[in-house]
Structure 1
Amino acid sequence: MRKLLSTLAVLLSLIAAIAVTAGVFIGIVVIQEKLFVPGDHLMWIFKYPFSRFVLIYQLLLMVGVFYVLNKKMKRKLGVTPSHPNHSFLHKNRRLMLSIFIFLNLALFYILISAVTVIKEDEIRNYSYLSPQGEDYRYEDVVKVEAGVYGDRFYLPFTHDQGDFYYVIELPDGSKVDLTEVGGVKGQEDERFVIEDIDRELVDKGVPKDTSLRNFEYTKDHLAKKYTDSIHRILENK
């Protein structure tokens, strides 16, 4: 019976931890939109690689929530160990909790502020070092690099073969991949929005480096109207 209750406590704690971390992820996106995205935006970007750090953040949060809930659940079900706990975590639980909270708050702030907003004629770039944002005109863009990722090894949760990228470099040296989309006004497909932005940038004389190499890989997972849009972007110079 004790083993069954212990297993039940683990299961319930795991379900609760997953629910909490999923809620936090949704909360991050909602907060980003509320804080940084104005109504007249064309699209907004959850910047790479911070958009991938969400997975690390969720994992850390899930482990922490699971640890706390599992202990409380077992205590309520009466399946806590009868012998004293002399583990390092137990003896230093206040310190570990403080470190855990600090790391989560720091990561949360970094993730929340990793936003770039694209408007009709303006780009506002936010970061944890510049939470108020820096404004740039389209003509301020230093250069554009666009293409398709090819057949090589990529770290998990980074890029895949056939992924389209469209990276703008800003005067402060930061690079923003417009395909790392947080949201698009009117729910239009981001490739069509990027195509419009690309025409504006090229018309304003922004240097652009593109390659059709690996383009064929896009056809493996995208419909023709999307690959045609990517092709037009890559050919537009």
Structure 2
Amino acid sequence: MRKILSVLKGLLLFIVAFILTMISYLLLSYIQRIVLVPDDFLLWTFNFPVIILIIIVELFVITILFYFFHKSFREYFQANFSNKDFVRKHQKLVIGSFIGGSIFLLYTTVTSITVVTPDKVIDHSFLRPLGREYTYDDVVKIDTEVKSEKSIIPLYSEGDFIYIIELSSGKRVYLNDVGETNDYEHPFFTIEEIDRKLVNRGIPKASSMENFELATKDLDKVYTDGIRRILENTDSVE
């Protein structure tokens, strides 16, 4: 019975951690939207590796919850990973490092976005929180495809649609890692609008229909039709 209760408690903590992570994610998106995104944006994206940072935060939240509210986990953690003497002796250093690391992680996550407007791309980063502006003419290449297999870095699954623009600085922006679009349409349709503008400027585009069928497994036809139009759009229209 105790084992069942322990498992149920662990499951509940996972659910609570997930909810807290989602709330934090929404709050983070709201801060980014208010502080860094102009009113005329088409879409804004999370810069890689922000998704990895979000996963780290979620794992951190789960660890903290289990440590304080799950006795078996706390005992295991203390027996294998905790050094009480070190923590007690360097308490200020530990607390300061935790607070400093949290602030650093929050700042890095908030500032790691790229915004696309009707006529420019604004790349925000750790070193350039106010952003570096590029015109559409500063886009030097487009890469788009449907993934044929899973990948951990970047984090994608089989059948995921990928759309990357490369800027003159060498920065690659994954437009499919969308935080928000301006009219709450599905991101594919906003990317299609941006794609038409870029292709009509004669920007080189590498596109492949090779794995298109994989995208049709989990998406409705209205969305896969949008992906198809993007993948097949390689000629400028005067």
Q: Do Structure 1 and Structure 2 share a fold, with TM-score over 0.5?
A: yes
What secondary structure is seen at the aligned counterpart in 1 of 2:216?
A: helix
> Deviation per CA, 1:88-119, whole angstroms, max 9, x where unpaired?
33333322221111111111111101111111
**1:230–1:61 CA distance, 2 compared to 1 (3 A):** same
**Rounded Cα–Cα distance in structure 1 between residues aligned with 2:33 and 2:156:** 24
Q: Residue 86 and residue 210 in structure 1: after superposition, are their counterparts in 2 closer, same or farther (change >3 A)?
A: closer
Indicate the residue corresponding to 2:144 in structure 1: 146
CA distance in 2, matches of 1:106, 1:100: 10
Which residue does the alignment assign to 2:40? 40
> Are residue 173 (structure 1) and residue 170 (structure 2) matched?
yes
User: How many Å separate the matches in 2 of 1:120 and 1:218?
Assistant: 28
The structure with the larger Rg is 1
Q: Which residue of 1 aligns with 2:92?
A: 94
TM-score by length of 2: 0.80
Q: Out of 88-97 and 179-188, give the one that drifted further.
A: 88-97
Inter-CA distance 131–65: structure 2 relative to 1 (3 Å threshold): farther
Match of 2:198 among 192, 201, 213: 201
* 8 Å Cα contact 2:150-2:156 kept in structure 1: no
Q: Which TM-score applies when normalising by structure 1?
A: 0.80
> Which consecutive aligned stretches of 4+ in structure 1 deviate over 6 angstroms post-superposition?
none
Residue 127, structure 1, aligned to residue 125, structure 2: yes
- 3-state DSSP class of the match of 1:222? coil
Query: Which amino acid is the alignment partner of residue 208 of structure 1?
Result: K
CA RMSD in angstroms, aligned pairs only = 2.7
Gaps of 5+ in 2: 70-82
Tell me the matched-pair count: 214
SS in 1 for 2:129: coil
Q: Aligned ranges for residues 54-73 of structure 1 at < 5 Å?
A: 54-64=54-64
**Change in 2 beyond 3 A, CA 1:196/1:16:** closer
Whether 1:218 and 2:215 are equivalent positions in the alignment is yes
The answer to whether the 8 A contact 1:146-1:167 is kept is yes
